[in-house]
Structure 1
Amino acid sequence: MRDFRKYAVWEQSHKLVLELYRLTKNFPQEEKFGLTSQIRRAGISISANISEGCGKLSERDFARFLGISFGSCQEVEYLTLLAKDLDYLDEQSYEPLSIEIVSIKKQLYHLIKKLNAGS
């Protein structure tokens, strides 16, 4: 059995979710059920799918959940760009988020590739 807490990519994605929650607190109230909710749900999906995948017995199933997590990263990447373009995030907040998201995507990609090579 895998412990999701031991994966650096899970730890980094968990920190990303905490940061997304902190930053989206300042979004306009009319976005509460729109962009705010969507960013948070997509962010949670990253670390949640890593966690769920760790509970799967096969490498193939684990890789499949990591792929879902990767897709959620893509979604967060776009949604944070949208938030910046709507002036809900300033450049100083957006840039570190963007760097973190790309880092998580790279780690997920390499882990998926490694798991698929073993199949």
Structure 2
Amino acid sequence: MHRFKDLEIWRLSRRFCPDVYNITASFPETEKFGISNQLRRASVSIPSNIAEGCSRKSKKDFSRFLEIAIGSMYEVETQLLISNDLKFIHKNELNYLLDKLDSIIKMTSKFKSTIK
């Protein structure tokens, strides 16, 4: 069993959430319950699933929650790309967020491969 607060992947994904909240604050008001809300929820689910996985007694269960977190990461990536397509975020903001997210994805995938 791991202590989630000690995991770098949890700390990085937790720090990623305010980035998503800050960027979506500038989205059109019409997106308040649309992509803005979806992006926020997906970003919050990343550290949440890592933390919940840490509470599981088996490595298989923990690995499954890491898999869910990775799925949320790809969900966020897709939604950021769509937000850029819709001109809600600028290319430089998109690249900044995608670089951070890519780093978290790689670290989590590598960590997950050690949990067998």
After TM superposition, the score normalised by the length of structure 1 is: 0.94
Query: Match of 2:69?
Result: 69
**Structure 1 residue 2, shift from structure 2 partner:** 2.2
Q: Which consecutive residues of structure 2, in runs of 5 or more, have no partner in the other structure?
A: none
Q: Which residue of 1 aligns with 2:25?
A: 25
Structure 2 residue 36 is matched with structure 1 residue 51: no
How far apart are 1:12 and its partner, in Å?
Answer: 0.7
CA RMSD after TM alignment: 0.8
Q: What are the residue-to-residue correspondences of 1:1-119 with 2, within 5 Å?
A: 1-116=1-116
Structure 1 residue runs of 5 or longer lacking an equivalent are none
1:10-64 deviation line (CA, Å, top 9, x unaligned): 1110111111001101100000000000000110111100010011111111100
TM-score by length of 2: 0.96
Q: What amino acid sits opposite 2:78 in the alignment?
A: Y
Residues of 2 paired with 1:112 and 1:97: CA distance? 22
**Displaced runs of 4+ in structure 1, greater than 2 A?**
none
Counterparts of 1:62 and 1:73, CA distance in 2: 17
TM-fit CA distance, 1:111: 1.2
